[in-house]
Amino acid sequence: MGPTASGKSLVAEWLADRIDAQLISADAFMVYRGLDIGTNKPLKKDRYEGLDLLDLHESYGVGAFVSWAVPLLENLWEQERNVVVVGGTGLYIRALFDGWSGMHAPPDPELRGALEAQLATRGLESLVQDLLERDPETPVDLRNPVRVRRALEKLASPPPVPAPALPAFQKMKIGIRVDVDRLNRYIAARAVQMIELGWREEVENLGKNGAVDDLPAMRAIGYSSMIRWIRGEFTRDEAIEEVVRLTRQYAKRQRTWLRREEGLVWLSENGPIEKMSGPLQAELEAIFLLGKK
């Protein structure tokens, strides 16, 4: 677990190699087919479960993730496989590991970030339309963007139910700690890199078969910015600036959320990580007893 751009996938893949583990993605938007560049989807997709499960119009949430993940974990348990769950949607990992006991904690930062981005780029009317489609008789003041957003967050959160019956894996949650200034630089550099890799073209291709603005998948941070650039509402630099701003705000919310995560073992080594450093390898090996016996 860790903020966006902190190197979670690299650490997870390294660890999976060391313990011969199946990688499982716990990301709310990597489940969508076609959302590759903007979600920073892993290049080696065949190593992961949980990628490219849905079409853009399909809805997805924490309940759907847990319902999908539990049978998969049961199957991996029967195969005596180790598992590494990795992703930026911390609420998914919390629900899977700890059940629904924490569901009344602060809202998932990714969901809040997506709703705030939707408000900023498409206006209150867009949020109101989403709310009325899901709860036509809502008593919420539809002129109040904060209350509309909170109502949507509440609808997206599952009711408290018993924890899922997971196999008897030995579970551990690991967090990557990142210097804020360094992370902000990486976020800015990554936004430019994703543009150069063809993010705009990705969104143009998604829209060839019809409008994609109102689809659930388009709540992923940055996709509305690409749409506005395509329409001529933004220049390239303005699109990048908005992506960076929204991503940094999201990372800040993630850091706040993760500080409240119970049982999280923080790695002392600072990231992001292009190459697994010796100290970090040693720390992970100590945690998982992978070093010399």
Let me know if residue 293 belongs to a domain. no
Let me know if residue 1 belongs to a domain. no
pLDDT at 60: 84
Let me know if residue 26 belongs to a domain. yes
Please report which confidence band the pLDDT of residue 253 belongs to, taking 50, 70 and 90 as the band edges: confident
Q: How many CA atoms lie within 13 A of 270 on its CB side?
A: 6
Let me know if residue 62 belongs to a domain. yes
Please report which confidence band the pLDDT of residue 262 belongs to, taking 50, 70 and 90 as the band edges: confident
Span 192-197, mean pLDDT?
Answer: 97
Q: Give 191: exposed, middle or buried? Use CB within 10 Å, 0-12, 13-18, 19+.
A: buried
Span 210-227, mean pLDDT?
Answer: 85
Let me know if residue 3 belongs to a domain. no
Q: What is the pLDDT of residues 183-192, one digit of tens each?
A: 999 999 999 9
pLDDT at 11: 87
Let me know if residue 86 belongs to a domain. yes
Closest of 24, 68, 26 to residue 45, by C-alpha: 24
Helix (H, G, I), strand (E, B) or coil at 48: strand
Give the single-character DSSP code of 85: E
Let me know if residue 2 belongs to a domain. no
Range of the domain at 149: 8-287
Residue 286 reports pLDDT greater than 70: yes
Span 45-61, mean pLDDT?
Answer: 92
Let me know if residue 141 belongs to a domain. yes
State the total domains in the chain: 1
Of residues 142 and 24, more confidence is placed in 24
Q: What is the pLDDT of residues 142-185, one digit of tens each?
A: 888 988 998 888 777 655 555 678 899 999 999 988 889 989 99
CATH number, domain of 16, equals 3.40.50.300
**What's phi and psi for 65, nearest 5 deg?**
-65, -50
Residue in the structure block whose two tokens are 């909170």: 150
Residue in the structure block whose two tokens are 């709540």: 219
Closest of 2, 5, 1 to residue 182, by C-alpha: 5
The beta-carbon contacts of 199-203 under 8 Å, at least 24 apart in sequence, are 199/37, 199/38, 199/226, 200/226, 200/229, 200/230, 200/239, 202/34, 202/35, 202/36, 202/37, 202/38, 202/226, 203/38, 203/227, 203/230
